[in-house]
Structure 1
């Protein structure tokens, strides 16, 4: 291997090398090592293409080459932690993606980052569905970018125990992630309405020649709508008012539209004053699930049909424990 290229690669793969290390490892003279490092620095500094990506630095007696566009150790750590906690990829996709991120780091940094997720890797905390999401997401994003129309087979495992498969034609609009799963919003040919699909339940995705007239009055802006939805469901816009007996910031994190109407004087077994809150939501099974999950620290006041829905569902659940 060319000695200049060999030294370049070694500097690229280490946080710091001294010239004596190169002398010992490559069996070259000290003068040769110094001259080669200088040549590499001059080449990087004088070539705009190289300079855009690489920077040769010296810290004390140690030299290294930084890659300007790679993620830092802390950025890789945070992204891997989020990816691990989301459990969004299968047992093939997750290790491949995390390893590529780890490979961006120097060996010492890589060991620290690997150790931080070792327990999760050993535990194999992957979601049950083994569908390959990365390839599907990439394909769907291409269709969205080119404003293509698509057709696919969709198997809804949630609606019935014996899952049913339907053929769907739509204009894909936006992909998002929520609560373990990736979803896509599309404008349907049949109903001329927006609908959300779980991506790992989609198969035989292909571009369609069918043109679907798009109703811009029903444009789905996920950046806005995501503030009003939960668990990947869409629904009808409404405002919910409820008493809340816990830490209000958790509600604001879930529904950024949350506002405090007032503080009321009511007993509370938790160390918080009781607030009356209002959230703007697209009421759906997803929002209902969130409300039910918080029933020990909230009571829906209005609208009445939602208060009744939550009360009746809780009553039905309670009666199961009486059997």
Structure 2
């Protein structure tokens, strides 16, 4: 069997896996995924149909498997099995506790369809992989909180929650969740708040009570990154000149505080930000490396930094 037919066999098998895992699969998406023409995908689908796979749909719309059709368990390659083991170690450290048992149950099902030799591979290698996390896990007050949030997104139903702010005040909010994300060791909700009539972020571990209502969403929302990359609010342009020896320590945090451009100069890196946290968050972050940085603009940020340092000195 030559290389052309081996590639086709791999691709046709992968297309069948896509049909098993998604309700509808478009030929254009498959062509992009496998880096072939749409016409090639049409021929691959015809190959599956000729093999007796009941595929519903046609060119230009999308394909799906006939409802109720069952396929034998998917077999995994050795490389895929090793990737499962590594991913499982990561998930054990960073997965939200309300999803932990569900993930473990899913992994047991995956293990159950492995060949005997692959099960031995897992047993021999899984103790040789570990992920070290130096941040303590946050403790949530509500069991199964993430599944409740995800269900509300899928069903497009509003949530009512009691939320404790950073200054220990408790407020009741009705929200429409756009999505959830993990950042700096905390899980967050990005949602439209009906009280504020605007988009807000809520830290999951600060939710005291949560209820899924039967009220539908008032509007349609895009992807969560659309809101995280371009949140509402007044932004301030900030320019810093940072010494090259410290830039490697700011890899993640500079993006969090609104980095939009980074320019290498002879005397350092010019970092340009658009930030909403100019009054509190940004100056407090800047003070952690202020001896390696110079504020180019705005001028009032220098005053905020001086005031913050003065207040620190008073305590020490």
TM-score by length of 2: 0.59
In the superposition, relative to structure 1, how do residues 310 and 71 fare at CA in structure 2: closer, same or farther (>3 Å)? farther
**Between Structure 1 and Structure 2, whose CA radius of gyration is higher?**
1
1:166 Cα deviation from its structure 2 partner: 2.0
After TM superposition, give the deviation of residue 179 of structure 1 in Å: 1.2
In structure 2, distance between residues paired with 1:210 and 1:118: 42
Residues 138, 301 of structure 1: alpha-carbon distance in 2 compared, 3 angstrom cutoff: same
Q: Give the structure 2 partner of residue 259 of structure 1.
A: 261
Indicate if the aligned counterparts of 2:156 and 2:217 stay in contact, CA closer than 8 A: no
1:242 alignment partner in structure 2: 240
**C-alpha distance in 2 between matches for 1:95 and 1:126:** 19
In the other structure, the counterpart of 1:159 is 167
Contact 1:172 1:184 in 2 (8 A): yes
CA spacing shift, 1:263–1:83, aligned 2, 3 Å: farther
Q: Distance in 2 between matches of 1:316 and 1:243?
A: 24
For residue 194 of structure 1, what is the aligned residue in structure 2? 199
Find out whether 1:109 has 2:109 as its counterpart.
no
Q: CA deviation at 1:151?
A: 1.0
Matches within 5 A, 1:60-99: 66-67=75-76, 71-78=80-87, 80-81=89-90, 84=93, 86=94, 89-90=96-97, 97=103
Alignment partners' CA distance in 2, 1:77 and 1:175: 23
Q: Following TM superposition, by how much is the alpha carbon of 1:100 offset from its aligned partner in structure 2, in angstroms?
A: 5.9
Q: 1:299 aligns with which of 266, 275, 294?
A: 294
1:129 aligns with 2:139: yes
Q: Describe the shift of the 1:212–1:112 C-alpha distance in structure 2 as closer, same or farther (beyond 3 A).
A: closer
The CA RMSD measured in Å over matched residues stands at 4.1
Match of 1:315 among 291, 310, 313: 310
CA distance in 2, matches of 1:169, 1:304: 39
Match of 1:184 among 182, 189, 200: 189
CA 1:224/1:83 → structure 2, altered by over 3 Å: closer, same or farther? farther
Residue correspondences, number = 239
Q: Which range moves more in the overlay, 168-177 or 242-251? A: 242-251
Q: Distance in 1 between matches of 2:217 and 2:52?
A: 50
In the superposition, the TM-score normalised over structure 1's length comes to 0.58
Aligned counterparts of 2:297 and 2:131: Cα–Cα separation in 1: 47
Distance 2:100 2:136 in 1: 8
Q: 1:263-283: CA deviations, max 9, x gaps?
A: 254xxxxxxxx2222123332
- Gaps in structure 2 of 5+ consecutive residues: 1-50, 54-68, 112-117
The CA deviation at 1:184 is 0.7
Instruction: Give secondary structure in 1 for the equivalent of 2:167.
Output: coil
The change in CA–CA distance for 1:187 and 1:237 in structure 2 (over 3 A counts) is same
> Mean alpha-carbon deviation: is it higher for 135-144 or for 108-117?
108-117
Supply the distance in 2 between the matched residues of 1:316 and 1:220 (Cα, whole angstroms): 43
Q: How far apart, in 2, do the equivalents of 1:119 and 1:252 lie? A: 19
